[in-house]
Amino acid sequence: MMDKKVQILSIEYHWEQRLLRVLLGILFILTLSYLYFVAASVMNVIAHKEADVRSTALETSTGLLERQYFALSQEITPESGGTLGLSKISDQSYVYRPGNIGAATIASIQGAI
């Protein structure tokens, strides 16, 4: 009886080899996927640190440009504008553009006339 149980367990079915290969293939693909995502995460951290360094450098250069702009803008006065080719405006005209409510009011007034 015992020999029969061992004999049943030692029988190899025709689909066992195919199933084993499929499972090993899936394990291989999952391992490669895991390694890819770990490497992508590490590269993302490195890129983030480089972006922070670049951002800091850009902020510094922007700050320096703003300082130069404000220093130069303090030198421009209405009197020095003529040397830069600017002219004084004698008459100022402003344009009023009504919104939707103003347009509706104007239309209703014109309709009443």
Average pLDDT over residues 82-91: 73
pLDDT at 1: 54
Average pLDDT over residues 67-81: 78
Question: Does the pLDDT at position 8 exceed 90?
Answer: no
pLDDT at 31: 98
pLDDT at 79: 74
Question: Does the pLDDT at position 46 exceed 70?
Answer: yes
Domain ranges for the chain:
15-84
Between CA 74 and CA 81, with CA 75 as vertex, the angle to 5 degrees is: 115
Question: Does the pLDDT at position 61 exceed 90?
Answer: yes
Question: Does the pLDDT at position 60 exceed 60?
Answer: yes
Q: How much of the chain exceeds pLDDT 70, in percent?
A: 71
Q: What is the dihedral of CA 52, 53, 59, 62, to 10 degrees?
A: -140
